[in-house]
Homo-oligomer: A and B are copies of this chain.
Amino acid sequence: MRIAIIGLGGIGASVGLAVQHEALGWGVVGYDIAPDALEGALQIGAIDHLAESVAACADADLIVIATPPLAMPDVFQALVPRLRPETVLTDVASVKSPVLRWAEAHLPYPSRFVGGHPIAGTEHHGVRAARADLFHGAPWVLTPTAQTDPDALLRVEAFVRTLRAAPLTVDPAQHDREFALLSFLPHAVAFSLAALHRENPTTVPPGGSWRSATRVAQSDPALWAQLMALNREPTRQWLQQLIQRLQTLADALEQGDANALQEWFSAPSAPSPREP
């Protein structure tokens, strides 16, 4: 079994470490556009061979694409000339529908691509954030479609279990809608609060609630700008619902309405849509 990992950030390098940790004798080749990341991944033992290009990864049995999402169309295109029909491909991006569209548009055998998203990210990034046990017990969403080859799905599920994660299959659009709430909103809030604090430094040190709320503001801002752009409409809709709810609270505060405040905290009612 030969695995190729394209993109050796925190997730890609953790996939490599986790494979090596299981000592299955698999060969792990890696590629990253940044020589530092590539060397770092080799040094920590996440990969055992350096590939010289994306194309040089094409003859693996399983290709894990762990680049930032906007790099994926180029990665697909670079793989195409040497890709074999039996090779299975998967990815780890936090957004799935655009990735599946790119796979459909660029790959010669799109049925062999299975979209994936390990629910195991942290605010740390880069090869130094890699951990062999990052996926232990973690859910790993897979988003097969009607076109997905069942054999490819079985292989990716087995691979994910090898990393000790728990695969679950979800419709790609549903994944993107739910993650806009579960992950994109918390990131939007964390970046907002951190920016407010940068502009309004406090004398009093923050406590635990602040640290929890802003932890993921340490995440890569360029990556999150990309992800949100790729999951625009669900994220925008959840943002409007959050804004509506916060505005209801602000209005209750302005009016000094103690009952409305108690109600807001105890059993918040569904906000009415704010669309024109």
Contact = CB atoms under 8 A, between A and B. Distances in A.
B265 A225 contact: yes
A253 B240 CA distance: 11
A270 interface: yes
A264 B192 CA distance: 9
A79 interface: no
Interface string A118-129: 011110000000
Interface of A: 119-122, 139, 141, 168, 170, 174-175, 178-179, 181-183, 185-193, 195-197, 199-200, 202-210, 212-216, 221-222, 224-225, 228-229, 232-233, 235-236, 238-243, 245-247, 249-250, 253-254, 256, 258, 261-262, 264-266, 268, 270
Counting every copy of the chain, the complex holds 2
10 contacts: A119-B207, A181-B196, A182-B206, A185-B213, A189-B189, A192-B268, A221-B265, A229-B256, A233-B253, A239-B249
Of the candidates A139, A179, A204, A229, the one having the most CB atoms from chain B within 10 angstroms of its own CB is: A204
A190 B213 contact: yes
**What is the interface of chain A mostly: helix, strand, loop, or mixed?**
helix
A30 B272 CA distance: 47
B232 A256 contact: yes
B196 A242 contact: yes
A208 B135 CA distance: 12
Contacts of A268: 191-192, 195
Contact of A246 (B210, B212, B233, B243): B243
B256 A222 contact: no
